[in-house]
A and B are shown apart, each in its own frame.
Chain A
Amino acid sequence: MTTARSIIPLLNRLISRSQPSRSVTYMHRPGDGAPRPVTLIPGDGVGPLVTNAVEQVMEAMHAPVYFEKFEVHGTMKKFPEEVLDSIRKNKVCIKGGLATPMGGGVNSLNVYLRKELDLYASLVNCFNMRGLPTRHENVDIVVIRENTEGEYAGLEHEVVPGVVESLKVITKFCSERIASYAFEYAYLNNRKKVTAVHKANIMKLADGLFLEACREVAQKYPAIQYNEIIVDNCCMQLVSKPEQFDVMVTPNLYGNLVANTAAGICGGTGVMPGGNVGAEHAVFEQGASAGNVGKDSIVAQKTANPVALLLSSAMMLRHLQFPAFADRLETAVQKVILQAKVRTKDLGGSSTTQEVVDAVIDALD
């Protein structure tokens, strides 16, 4: 017994919820093509290579964006205040990864940025690309990962020498927020199913709370199928039958693993787009494994794969409400992948980043 979702209450919800107010429909008006500023952070390792790729392609498309570039490195003690101000002003940022030193109590600047700007949702879209054969077909998964708490709360302490305690923090507020994001995303993008990933059999209170929040939100979207899966089973299903998944909502750490696994089965983290979204800001970076800045050999030989960041910049163009440019960019990238002539090493080819960029620019219509 399905009841059609009445449109008026939904519109009311949408309009009342958006602050500042954002029009539900968008018609271009003269002046909308004025270039929008976007903060650009090249980052470390392969970051400068791939962000440079984005700059070149944007220029070639004459896209109405201009970049305010800032140098930030993972070794900095704290995130420069001027960069944060720039992002707060522009509301949109595109960045390469910042290398986090292992151990030693230095917190990741990538994580710091997400927390500081309250980018509570991390989105990775993993899908089969035509021309990139993988072991599975018909995969189209969106992993929506809680981005601010959970195992990444950064609360660790050494109780006695040789014994370390790490706190995983799960709150009802954040869980509800991410579940709402996931269901709303599913609803607005014609997705049929949302799967919550958890380990509530072991972490009964923490993941139990997360599940409770997801279930509550699920009730508000009766047309969307909702199910739950334990994270270890989820990993296994991902590698054997990934077609069964549609949208997945997860707490922080599981989201990291699931996103990377899903990206791997569709071709690797070099091709999957993604971004971090908050109520006010959006930071676009490589979909999964954004903190991975690549091996030195890749940097030296300039063979990093720019596809992920190019597709993320297409997401950014949509976010800025320039869908036609986004379509052009995505079509060009997909054409290059389909032709399979120019590919970097992670996709089985031997081209350099610049060659891929040139191919994409040639493929632009």
Chain B
Amino acid sequence: AVNGMIKYEEVVIDNCCMMFVKNPALFDVLVMPNLYGDNISDLCAGLVGAATLVRGIALAEAVYGSAPDIAGKNMGFECLFHEKFGKSNCFTAEWCSMLRHLNLHDKADLIQNAILNTIAEGKYQTADLGGKAKTIEFTNAIIDHL
């Protein structure tokens, strides 16, 4: 069947953590139980940039912990969003996942491109990316790019 083309291997979690920080390119798709998944996904997030850049596809729900110190201060995002080769962070990125799930790919692409362009432009960046923009400013910038 199709499965013959997918390589499968097992790795002990401690070894995995170390290999991850030394050479993340070794890994493609990882499947693991709950607690390890929590850790590893945040580890990946740290590697790509910040927690707010990692998308969690759990039925389009925000899966990340709520970062109590920045919530409610109009400074950060509460969702987890991941792109393998791009940095995008916006709670609307979660909607991208959902839209794709509902087969509305063109709309999803539209939003995703808007996010990517906003970040690439670099004018509005939130604190976790090293900038000073507020959530609402960032969102408006994305809407402008649509």
Contact = CB atoms under 8 A, between A and B. Distances in A.
Please indicate whether A and B come from the same complex rather than being unrelated chains: yes
Interface of A: 102, 199, 201, 230-233, 235-240, 253, 256-257, 259-261, 263-265, 268-269, 288-289, 292
B20 interface: yes
B42 interface: yes
A264 B22 contact: yes
Contact of B18 (A233, A253, A289): A289
Bin chain B's interface residue count: 20 to 34
Contacts of A265: 21
A261 B18 contact: yes
B67 to A, nearest CB: 8
Given A257-B39, A264-B18, A292 B12 contact: yes
Contacts of A237: 46
A49 to B, nearest CB: 18
A261 B17 contact: yes
Given A230-B65, A232-B41, A257-B13, A239 B46 contact: yes
A318 B22 CA distance: 30
Nearest to B41: A232
Contacts of A253: 35
A298 to B, nearest CB: 13
Given A239-B21, A269-B18, A289-B18, 4 more contacts: A232-B39, A233-B42, A264-B20, A264-B21
Contacts of B17: 235, 257, 260-261, 264
B46 A235 contact: yes
A126 B19 CA distance: 16
Interface string B1-31: 0000000001011110111111000000000
A231 B12 CA distance: 18
B38 A232 contact: yes
B114 interface: no
Nearest to A135: B21
Contacts of A260: 14-15, 17-18
B60 interface: no
Contacts of B13: 256-257
A133 B140 CA distance: 41
B63 to A, nearest CB: 11
A230 B45 CA distance: 15
Contacts of B40: 235
6 contacts: A231-B39, A232-B65, A240-B50, A261-B43, A268-B18, A292-B15
Interface centre among A235, A238, A253 (most CB of B within 10 A): A235
Contacts of B65: 201, 230, 232-233
A292 B38 CA distance: 23
A235 B44 CA distance: 9
B15 A232 contact: no
B51 interface: yes
Interface in B37-65: 38-43, 45-47, 49-51, 65
B21 A289 contact: no
A296 B42 CA distance: 31
A83 B35 CA distance: 36
**Best-surrounded residue of A201, A233, A256, A263 (most CB of chain B within 10 A):** A233
A264 B15 CA distance: 9
B83 to A, nearest CB: 17
A237 B35 CA distance: 17
Contact of A264 (B19, B38, B42, B50): B19
B42 A257 contact: no
Contacts of B18: 260-261, 263-264, 268-269, 288-289
Interface in B89-139: none
A54 to B, nearest CB: 22
B53 to A, nearest CB: 11
Nearest to B35: A199
Nearest to B23: A264
A288 B39 contact: no
4 nearest CB pairs, A to B? A236-B46, A264-B21, A239-B46, A264-B18
Most buried by B among A236, A259, A269: A236
A239 B43 contact: yes
Which of B22, B39, B40 gathers most chain A CB within 10 Å?
A: B39
A299 to B, nearest CB: 16
